[in-house]
A and B are shown apart, each in its own frame.
Chain A
Amino acid sequence: MDRSVTVPASVSLESFLLAVRQRLWLIRLAEAARTLLWYAGFILLALAAVHLLITAITRSSIFAIVGSVALFLLLRVARQRPSLAQCAAHADRVFSGHALMTTAVECRHLSKSASGFATEIVLRQADDAAKSWTPEISQRLRQSHASRTVLATIPLFVALVLLSLPGVEKGIDVDRVTPVSAAQIAAGSGEGLDRGTGDVAALRRIIVDESSANARPPGEQQSATALLAAQSDDAETVTELSTAPGQSGDLGGVAGLAGDDGDLPGNAIARSTPADNSLTASAFIQDRESIELQRTGPTFAAGRKSGTDYSTGEPWELKSSFLIQAAAVPESLTHATILSRAQAAHARLYLGGPGKDND
């Protein structure tokens, strides 16, 4: 056997491998994009959960988090430049090369010291194969990754849906909120409420669920229906309430309610259910009683008050809890005040700024 080997110039092999590298890099970039979509989907889901249950998350922070992940993935792809050996192995897989390219790449570096007939043969065969395979690179590599494209649409769809949700909320026209009539509320289901998005936007910010306790004075227990019906003429718009004195303009969260005709304060129920836009309100009201709310969680505020009814002498206790959509909660939510009918035409619940008495 001839021990000296003249290695043929393998321009085709080099250009073929470089073309494969370029395609492989693009494929990895596409895979990174797909990964990013998946990550973005999960991140948005997680952030939505955090936003609803723990604390408000601004849109800019969402973009920052997703952007950081994207940057990380891009940097990782940029750092992991496919080596020629990896390109050769990939080409062998895609073109059924029987490890020809892999062997040829190793031969290329060892050729000067290599001996035997095999080195030259492998390089020549690889060169010939490279010439015939080069026109098919794009097609073959695309075929080998085609199946993953379908999968990529799943996170894309999820991400798009999630990304569209804030847009829907932003599109709500708060100014279009219509007054809530007591009669409508009295219907119980809230069907009389304006089902426009404005009501929902304003009302769903706060769900007032006042569960008056067992010690509520019996004489003062009037139905929300009666109370609100009595106030139907004076009913204020939710918009007015939401921009009540002492509150910042972007602070939502008002549940309007009314006292009764007599001296005694009454009950009112305020409850917003975004699903059907209904509103009911409830609050046990004494004359000029206010309840100081404490934040019991990122999206909850609760208040509790007890006393003795001045007419019957029976003890009463008022518990109020507020479930508040995180985005609408100001950092300093602390107070709610209940006004009796003796003081104002309406009993109102205000949520206001720090330390302010929002009556």
Chain B
Amino acid sequence: MTEQNENLASVMHDLNALETQLNSVLVGQKKLIRQLLIAIFAGGHVLLEGLPGLGKTQLAKALAKSLGLDLGRVQCTPDLLPADITGSEILLSGRQGAGELQFRPGPVFANLVLVDEINRATPRTQSALLEAMQEGQVTCAGKRHVLPEPFWIIATQNPIELEGTYPLPEAQLDRFLCKLLLPYPAADSLDALLDTSLDQEPVDQLQAVCTVERTRELRVAAQQVLVAKDVRAGAINLVLATQPDSEYSSAAARQHIRYGASPRALLSIIRAARVRALFEGRAHVAFEDLSALAHPVLRHRILLHTGSELEGHTENTVLDQIIKEWVQANP
């Protein structure tokens, strides 16, 4: 086995070990965990949507612990202020009695930040996360404060509670690489859950699988995965297929979508596809990677017509049609 093959094998080994550990904590959610890890190693932020009690917070905690990362947590409420997230300058008394302003970092200064129930925060507070998510920094009192590297945000939201919530604006949604839906676990998974979590907290038992340094290496490895021109063209076509005004738009997009996916979606799906290829033991991206990741990467980036929503169409059903057309064009 050559050195390069050993590299790939070790990358796959670490990724699989991480996946196995998370599967032991959150049973019955293998697909979700795979997608979460893909988003993390693609360097993107994740929006988790699911009903209460499905283990969103536990998953974030388990991920931070498995990766050996610092975990920051923000519980969003309507009275939460931006400074509560980013941090603020406070006045400290100096040795000679003179006051001195000192920046006290908020919970966003961590490798992995869990923003729980993000849609309960006011738009002003939500927008405080924009700079952090996109640029990896926060600005306070005119001073720029760089966030630690690596930096991820996992935000959760509850889809059923609408009263007292503020839906995330499109600009902020676009900054999440993936929007993952947490379904109810199946019956056998619930049985396994009783075994693992009835009398103990499985997260407490976890050991770190990777170090921060190894996490960075895995991200670098993902960046080296090759993307052929045909596959790139396929990704471009897929993104353009969601845009109703594009010449490549699909029939479903023209019928149901008001605004399609952005160029950032294209970057996101390619980055995610690279990581998925590593999970599959490949050093190159295939068309299958793109179609497998189209839902989590694109579902929160398209906006449907109100009429289509009233007819019962959802982002997922429309994407199903778009992907079906796209797969036929890219066999």
Contact = CB atoms under 8 A, between A and B. Distances in A.
B8 interface: yes
A119 B286 contact: no
Nearest to A8: B2
| Main DSSP-derived SS at the A contact region | helix
Given A98-B288, A99-B287, A125-B283, A120 B226 contact: no
B220 interface: yes
B284 to A, nearest CB: 4
Contact of A99 (B3, B4, B220, B231): B231
Interface string B266-295: 000000000000000011111110000000
B224 interface: yes
Contacts of B284: 98-100, 103, 118, 122
Interface string B188-223: 000000000000000000000000000000001100
B96 interface: no
Interface in A100-141: 100, 102-103, 106-107, 115-122, 124-125
Contact size class for B?
20 to 34
B230 interface: yes
Nearest to B229: A106
Interface residues of A, number: 23
A2 B3 contact: yes
A93 interface: yes
Contacts of B226: 103, 106-107, 118-119, 122
Interface in A174-215: none
Contacts of B227: 103
Q: Which interface residue of B3, B285, B286, B287 has the most chain A CB atoms within 10 A?
A: B286
B8 A99 contact: no
Contacts of B285: 99, 103
B3 A121 contact: no
Contacts of B231: 99, 102-103
A102 B227 CA distance: 9
Among A5, A98, A99, A115, max chain B CB count under 10 A is at A99
Contacts of B8: 117-118, 121
Nearest to B227: A103
A36 interface: no
A106 B228 contact: yes
Contacts of A85: 229-230
Contacts of B220: 1
Nearest to B222: A118
A107 B229 CA distance: 11
A159 interface: no
Contacts of B221: 1, 117
A121 B283 contact: yes
A254 interface: no
A227 interface: no
B5 A124 contact: yes
A100 B227 CA distance: 10
A122 B224 contact: no
A68 to B, nearest CB: 34
A37 interface: no
Interface string B1-19: 0111101100000000000
B5 A98 contact: no
Nearest to A6: B2
Interface of B: 2-5, 7-8, 220-221, 224-231, 282-288, 331
29 contacts: A1-B7, A1-B220, A2-B3, A2-B4, A5-B4, A89-B230, A93-B331, A98-B287, A99-B287, A100-B282, A102-B229, A102-B230, A103-B226, A103-B227, A103-B231, A106-B228, A106-B229, A115-B224, A117-B3, A117-B4, A117-B5, A117-B7, A117-B221, A118-B4, A118-B224, A118-B284, A120-B4, A121-B8, A122-B284
Given A115-B224, A120-B2, A124-B2, 18 more contacts: A1-B7, A1-B220, A2-B3, A93-B331, A98-B282, A98-B287, A99-B228, A99-B286, A102-B231, A103-B231, A106-B228, A106-B229, A116-B224, A117-B7, A117-B283, A118-B4, A118-B283, A119-B226
In the A-B complex, list the 8 residue pairs whose CB atoms are closest, starting with the nearest: A116-B224, A98-B286, A118-B283, A117-B4, A103-B284, A121-B283, A103-B228, A117-B7
